[in-house]
Structure 1
Amino acid sequence: MFERMILMIFSLLGILNGAFLSVIFRRKRFYFYMAGSWLLSFLSAGYFLWYARGYDGLGLWSLWLGYMACGIMVAEIVSLPCLFFLSLLSISKKLRKGSRVLSLAAICAAAVIGIYGSVDGNNREQVEHLDVYVEGLPPTFEGYKAAQMTDTHIGPYFRYTDLSGEIDRARREGAQVLFFTGDLIDDIRHMPDAGRTLTEEFYGFPDGIIYVWGNHEYYRGKDYIEEELLKTPVKMLVNEHTAITRNGASLYVAGVDYPWARGEAMKKEMDDMTDEAFRGIPKGAPVVLLAHHSAFLDEGFKKGAAITLTGHTHGTQFGLFGRPIITPFTYTRGLYSDGRNMGYVSRGDASWFPFRFSCPRELVIITFHRK
């Protein structure tokens, strides 16, 4: 169903872009433009879908073709409003020549943005350092470091063989615990490999690895992923909490599941999940809340969590000057605060679609301080 929808969407985009070009260039045989643009768009989307299934065992050439395909898909999206606007301008004879020049420039710019964003988006990563000042933090936790990973989406663009290096990077930054906030894997054929890597890397962190569910675990087969994770020492939190202890003092970590309700029902579902996760935590104790959906930042603020760590949005993967342009999320990327407590939405360690523009991948390192 998903694959058919992708092919239909990009087929339509190709046809529309071809139609607008035929209007701009005043070609009677408009169907050649439409057919050519449709074929390019259809083949790009088709390769993207095929590569996601058959990338195992293929050479580096296949990855670069994947980048090209993703770049063309992005170019089709970016070109559509530009060509539509220019097709309207071309109705005027005085503006026709200029609209033709601009249309070619728009197509070239869209292709450059798409291909550059696909290559750069999958290869460049930043380490974001957060200093969190916590009321009531025990002295033994001053300077304590944690890492957050999220949205690796193990598959064609972030291989299971990349997981070890990413976790090693967190350890080299001095993290003593690794928080993983969901969407570990899409290609569950490699779940046993991912599980073995998590087991091998677990003991590199004094306080281990703590995990909460994302939505893609449900999409790809939560029961099987859970079965494999239970073979590892990774601590899974499903509307519950655990404590990290130092010299008899504790830093609490609460974790919630992914909410599936919508509207007011979603708020109720998140309230219930958070209440259950916080049940039994002493009042005033320092708490880190882990969630996949960024809407849980409001829950963390209400509960007084020192920081709420989430992912899910990928930062929208597109923006300008480091900020998203259009977003369906209240909390999209970066640091938020209610004036007392903090929340952070990670851009993610990877993605199932490699394109990123002004929104690089990230590994988050949190350092706790006493307020």
Structure 2
Amino acid sequence: MKSYSLFTIILLCLAIFVVDFLAFYWLQSITALIASTFLKNTINILFWFFTLGLIAAIITLKLRLDDIQPRRKQLLISSLYGLTISSFIPKIIFVIVMAVFYFTNYVFSENESHIVIPLIGLFVGFLPFFVIVYGIFKARYHFKVHHVSLKFKHLPPAFHGLKVVQISDLHLGSYNHKFHILERAIRKINQLEPDLLFFTGDLVNNYAWELRGWRKAFRHFSPKIDKYAVLGNHDYGDYSKWDSEEAKKENFNAIKTFYKENDFKLLLNETEIIEKENQNIAIVGVENWGNPPFKQYGNLQKALEGTEQIPFKILLSHDPSHWPEEVIEHTNIALTLSGHTHGMQAAFKLKNKEWSPIKYKYKHWAGLYEQNNQFLYVNRGLGWLGFPGRLGMRPEITLMELKKA
């Protein structure tokens, strides 16, 4: 919320008020069917109490954001995200449907319209509400394994059949220390028996204290060969207010230390060589590199130093924007693994087609992409940020099997 200006917040609140005013107008056609005056008045009072309370809470939180203790701040922001979306989206759908039916009604008679149309409007309003509630309380922790099989001409024969698991965007602060939930995902990962485990950034929302209590869970990751990680944009503390640069640096160092303590190899613009039967592949990891306003800490050329003779390279880079800018047509990196987008935590899927509004911001936002025999896979994330749920975009564990073409 801090990244949004006060003007933007006021516009949001104005939009909420306008939509709620229209929803209240159409709601009267439904409450007119209720005989009890007391019940009608109660519904009306509760409606506006919630609307005005939500607007007041949003503005108050924005004005007092810097004075709120960080842990409480995260909880308040995610709660308001959830309340706003679960309220705003159903109401705007309700308003649109009611307006369309009333102004273009050629199906029902006038008498039928007074009963049927309000009931239809009520149904189409409650349907997305229940979908959102499901996304908040169930789907956000309903982990899904995506299976991907890829063939590469330059993969050394010794690595044929290599099993790789990628996870991304844990945002551990959002789990609110619900260790058992992530442990369930870890058990699912270990059951896949991967050779390598890759984590592509955003371990936390902002702060190193979010990591307290998570060491036990992280030590349960058990790939056959090794565990690698890179940093995401949220791991640098750039979205928080610090008392000093030294405090920010200490926070950053604590996050890096967490990886070391849990036997993850954190790749900071560097490469690790994996050898098997005298054949090698390179695991290249860069710090976060994104298009503005995201900062570019990554240095791919530095990371690639000494890899000229390695025939097959896997790049871990948090932001998929990096791939078209510096990878394809600039390097011979065969496979790039990214995260960052979360798939916006919302999508519509029909058979093999998937659509999300995030596609208008990121060309590569979820799943597998290929260009010039170079591949990019964008993981949908295992955690969540902001809106405390997932709608048609389940948290993802990616299992890849790499084969010799």
Please give the alpha-carbon distance, in whole angstroms, between the structure 2 residues aligned to 1:34 and 1:15. 11
The reply to whether residue 77 of structure 1 matches residue 88 of structure 2 is yes
The reply to whether residue 36 of structure 1 matches residue 49 of structure 2 is yes
The reply to whether residue 134 of structure 1 matches residue 152 of structure 2 is yes
SS of structure 1 residue aligned to 2:380: coil
Q: Which residue of 2 aligns with 1:59?
A: none
The reply to whether residue 285 of structure 1 matches residue 285 of structure 2 is no
- Deviation for aligned residue 1:344: 0.6
Decide whether aligned partners of structure 1 residues 89 and 149 sit closer, same or farther in structure 2, where only a CA change above 3 A counts: closer
Q: Is the 8 A contact 2:152 2:403 kept in 1?
A: yes
The one-letter code matched in structure 1 to 2:384 is S
Please give the alpha-carbon distance, in whole angstroms, between the structure 2 residues aligned to 1:158 and 1:192. 11
Which of residues 338, 346, 351 in structure 2 aligns to 1:318? 346
- Deviation for aligned residue 1:41: 3.8
Please give the alpha-carbon distance, in whole angstroms, between the structure 1 residues aligned to 2:270 and 2:370. 24
Decide whether aligned partners of structure 1 residues 156 and 340 sit closer, same or farther in structure 2, where only a CA change above 3 A counts: closer
Please give the alpha-carbon distance, in whole angstroms, between the structure 2 residues aligned to 1:74 and 1:142. 46
Q: Which residue of 2 aligns with 1:229?
A: 259
Decide whether aligned partners of structure 1 residues 40 and 320 sit closer, same or farther in structure 2, where only a CA change above 3 A counts: farther
TM-score (norm 1): 0.79
Please give the alpha-carbon distance, in whole angstroms, between the structure 1 residues aligned to 2:104 and 2:145. 53
Q: Which structure would you say has the larger Rg?
A: 2
Q: Which residue of 2 aligns with 1:331?
A: 364
Please give the alpha-carbon distance, in whole angstroms, between the structure 2 residues aligned to 1:321 and 1:21. 28
- Deviation for aligned residue 1:369: 1.0
Q: Is the 8 A contact 2:289 2:317 kept in 1?
A: no
Please give the alpha-carbon distance, in whole angstroms, between the structure 1 residues aligned to 2:156 and 2:132. 48
Q: 1:74-153 to 2 correspondence within 5 Å?
A: 74-85=85-96, 97=114, 100-153=118-171
SS of structure 2 residue aligned to 1:321: strand
Q: Which residue of 2 aligns with 1:15?
A: 17
- Deviation for aligned residue 1:14: 4.1
SS of structure 1 residue aligned to 2:403: strand
Please give the alpha-carbon distance, in whole angstroms, between the structure 2 residues aligned to 1:314 and 1:245. 33
The one-letter code matched in structure 2 to 1:333 is A
Q: Which residue of 1 aligns with 2:398?
A: 364
Q: Is the 8 A contact 1:17 1:34 kept in 2?
A: no
Q: Which residue of 1 aligns with 2:327?
A: 300
- Deviation for aligned residue 1:246: 1.1
SS of structure 2 residue aligned to 1:73: helix
Q: Which residue of 2 aligns with 1:60?
A: none
Q: Which residue of 1 aligns with 2:32?
A: none
- Deviation for aligned residue 1:330: 0.5
The one-letter code matched in structure 2 to 1:250 is N
The one-letter code matched in structure 1 to 2:138 is D
Please give the alpha-carbon distance, in whole angstroms, between the structure 2 residues aligned to 1:369 and 1:333. 22
- Deviation for aligned residue 1:3: 9.8
Q: Which residue of 1 aligns with 2:235?
A: 217
Q: 1:348-359 to 2 correspondence within 5 Å?
A: 348-352=381-385, 353-359=387-393
Structure 2 residue runs without a partner (length 5+):
30-40, 241-250
Please give the alpha-carbon distance, in whole angstroms, between the structure 1 residues aligned to 2:378 and 2:103. 47
Structure 1 residue runs without a partner (length 5+):
56-62
Q: Which residue of 2 aligns with 1:184?
A: 203
Decide whether aligned partners of structure 1 residues 206 and 44 sit closer, same or farther in structure 2, where only a CA change above 3 A counts: farther
- Deviation for aligned residue 1:354: 3.4
Q: Is the 8 A contact 2:156 2:311 kept in 1?
A: no
The one-letter code matched in structure 2 to 1:226 is K
- Deviation for aligned residue 1:197: 4.0
Please give the alpha-carbon distance, in whole angstroms, between the structure 2 residues aligned to 1:108 and 1:251. 53
Decide whether aligned partners of structure 1 residues 38 and 172 sit closer, same or farther in structure 2, where only a CA change above 3 A counts: same
TM-score (norm 2): 0.73
Q: Which residue of 1 aligns with 2:276?
A: 246
